[in-house]
Amino acid sequence: MQIYHYFTVIIILAAAFGYFNKRFLKLPRTIGVMIIALLTSLGIVLTASSFPDLFCADQKNDLIH
């Protein structure tokens, strides 16, 4: 992915988190988005530790070829 793809994903996630906070949590904007971002990060870390091949398969294939 190129750098503008990363920026696009970050902006879309921030908008989705903001909408989820406004619609369901009704916390102050900064706090709500931060809590959702922390929970999402925790979910990614737990998924990566449970299924290590899910995130590292491309790197292993690149090393082999």
Residue with tokens 């102050």: 28
SS3 readout for the chain: CCHHHHHHHHHHHHHHHHHHHHHHHCCCHHHHHHHHHHHHHHHHHHHHHHCHHHHHHHHHHHHHC
Residue 60 scores a pLDDT above 90: no
Q: Would you call 61 exposed, middle or buried from its count of C-beta atoms within 10 A (0-12, 13-18, 19+)? A: exposed
Q: What is the pLDDT of residues 5-58, one digit of tens each?
A: 999 999 999 999 999 999 999 999 999 999 999 999 999 999 999 988 887 755
